[in-house]
Amino acid sequence: MPNSHLHELFTDELRDVLGAERQLLKGLKKMADSASGEELKSAFQEHYSQSEEHINRLKEAFSSIGLSFRSKKCKAMEGLLAEGEEIMDSFEPGKVLDAALVAAAQKIEHYEIASYGCLVTWAKLMEHQEAADLLSQTLEEEKQTDGKLTEIAMSQANVSTE
């Protein structure tokens, strides 16, 4: 395999992102419950289902290269979710909380985009084509979610209608 020096790093990052996705499932549930805007609520619910699919794809990616399906705790996601909790405790439900939830969710998406972006690059460099394809699909969905959050922010959460 070419660039085999990346193998350990790739494996470690794959386990980290699996941990991140699992931790995020709990966070998204709380975020959906705290959102007031219907569109934002359903965006969180939709991303919950997508994240379950991301975990399935990771399972396939692990097995495509003969690795055991194991996660590790993602400290970055833990911190991002802790900030999200802080926000939910600081604001009453309504527009401002929704704007804050969009911001918290976009920080999470950007973290995931960076992680999957690196994983796709490393998978390609090691010629793990199947894993690269699976991880690219998830990367695209994370980007779409980020874009959708921007739309919601610009059309609703961040805009005053008074």
Contacts (CB under 5 A) with Fe ion, residues 17-56: 51, 54
Burial of residue 127, with CB atoms counted within 10 A of its CB: 0-12 exposed, 13-18 middle, 19 or more buried: exposed
Contacts (CB under 5 A) with Fe ion, residues 52-81: 54
User: By CB under 5 A, how many residues form the interface with Fe ion?
Assistant: 4
State how far the Cα of 120 lies from the Cα of 34, in Å rounded to an integer.
33
Smallest separation (angstroms) from Fe ion to the CB of 109:
5
State how far the Cα of 129 lies from the Cα of 131, in Å rounded to an integer.
5
- Of 7-15, 106-114, 125-133, 151-159, which segment contacts Fe ion by CB under 5 A? 106-114
Crossing angle of helices 75-90 and 95-125, in 10° steps, is 170
State how far the Cα of 162 lies from the Cα of 159, in Å rounded to an integer.
9
- Of 6-14, 74-82, 99-107, 112-120, which segment contacts Fe ion by CB under 5 A? 112-120
Smallest separation (angstroms) from Fe ion to the CB of 146:
8
Position among 14, 112, 120, 128 found at the interface with Fe ion (CB under 5 A): 112
**Binding residues for Fe ion (CB under 5 A):** 51, 54, 112, 142
